Structure 1
């Protein structure tokens, strides 16, 4: 009986030992498999990380190149912008010059039209002033009291370069026609000479001796009427504006 009990105990111990050995082997196998799988995953992750790092480096390099290209593009854009600003400045300058040229052209056109109008009106004269200077009987000398009147005429002619003056000389009815024509010619010559001495151009003076002045009808002329006949009528004329 004791032997049987010992045998049973030995068999149980052997079973335990055999079971323990089997369990350790299984554990080792499982651990080894797990470590292998973990190692594979680690290797895979390391490979992926390395590839990711490489891609990141490549992306960083590409980004740097892109930044460099962008900087180059920005520089070119700035250069183009500077040229555009320069063109804008030139356009503004040209526009200002064009405006000034148009203004000058308009002014020139107005001047031409004004000149044409003056030319068209050169023979359309308007009377600015009329006056008369008187002479002694049988004389052609300009009286002292007539000189201020003639000086005013000279000033008016010099003030308006387009103005002209007409002189008509007259005599009283006494004496022959030939004598009176010559006398009235001498009188307008005396007035012409005085105006020229005051600086009036001769070409602007138109003078003629008319001979005897026409008298009012009805009776013999009195002393006052005769005195008023011995005269040079002065008409200051200018073209219509």
Structure 2
């Protein structure tokens, strides 16, 4: 009886022990799988973060290059602007010297080129008078010419200044077209003449002065 009881007790205990061993094996296997999955997820996330960091670093580097390139372009533009201003100052100074030097020459001859009311085109009479001066300029390289444009006082001051400049430009262009070198021509539009002793038709003119350099 006692021997049968021991057998009965031993059999359940053995079954329970076997079940416990199987349970531990399952737990270890399950934990191993979870750890492997976790490791894989961590590795994947780490790789994704590393890739993102590399992309951001590349983008920042590209921005730095573009900023440097933009700075170089800006510096180049500023240098070109400074050069342009320097050239403009040089030209302005040269023109000022030329205009001041006109007083160091002697007057040879004066011709009045007349214009119609609010007109600046050269008529046949004006062209004929200028041809005589052009001949003298061709024959004597020491000669130069001064052009002073005027208008009558009708209308606004600004408009008459612009009109006198257009008249001067018409004469200057005609001289250049006929072969007179541009540096030999000094021109200025002086606007309206307010002299009450002259009729208005005589004020609509360009005074052409033939000048010669002193010996």
TM-score normalised by length of structure 2: 0.51
Q: In structure 2, what is the equivalent of residue 232 of structure 1? A: 206
Residue 137 of structure 1: CA displacement? 0.4
> Matched residues in 2 for 1:165 and 1:213: separation?
21
Residue 132 of structure 1: CA displacement? 0.5
Q: In structure 2, what is the equivalent of residue 187 of structure 1? A: 167
> Matched residues in 2 for 1:200 and 1:122: separation?
17
Deviations 1:143-193 (A, max 9, x none): 111111111111111111121100000000000011001100000000000
Which residue of 177, 193, 205 maps to 1:197?
A: 177
Tell me: CA distance 1:163–1:137, structure 2 relative to 1, closer, same or farther (3 Å): same
Deviations 1:101-126 (A, max 9, x none): xxxxxxxxxxxxxxxxxxxx997311
Deviations 1:13-72 (A, max 9, x none): xxxxxxxxxxxxxxxxxxxxxxxxxxxxxxxxxxxxxxxxxxxxxxxxxxxxxxxxxxxx
> Matched residues in 2 for 1:169 and 1:186: separation?
8
Asked if residue 134 in structure 1 is aligned to residue 120 in structure 2, the reply is no
Q: In structure 1, what is the equivalent of residue 54 of structure 2? A: none
Q: Which runs of 5+ in 1 are unaligned?
A: 1-120
Tell me: CA distance 1:232–1:122, structure 2 relative to 1, closer, same or farther (3 Å): closer
Alignment partner of 1:166: what SS?
strand
4+ residue segments displaced more than 4 Å: none
Q: Which has the larger radius of gyration?
A: 1
Q: CA RMSD in A?
A: 1.9
Tell me: CA distance 1:122–1:133, structure 2 relative to 1, closer, same or farther (3 Å): closer
Q: In structure 2, what is the equivalent of residue 152 of structure 1? A: 132
Q: Which runs of 5+ in 2 are unaligned?
A: 1-100
> Matched residues in 2 for 1:162 and 1:206: separation?
14
> Matched residues in 1 for 2:182 and 2:133: separation?
14
Q: In structure 2, what is the equivalent of residue 211 of structure 1? A: 191
Alignment partner of 1:155: what SS?
helix
> Matched residues in 1 for 2:164 and 2:114: separation?
11
Alignment partner of 2:171: what SS?
helix
Tell me: CA distance 1:174–1:151, structure 2 relative to 1, closer, same or farther (3 Å): same
TM-score normalised by length of structure 1: 0.46
Paired residues, what number? 115
Paired residues for 1:53-92 under 5 Å? none
> Matched residues in 1 for 2:193 and 2:115: separation?
13
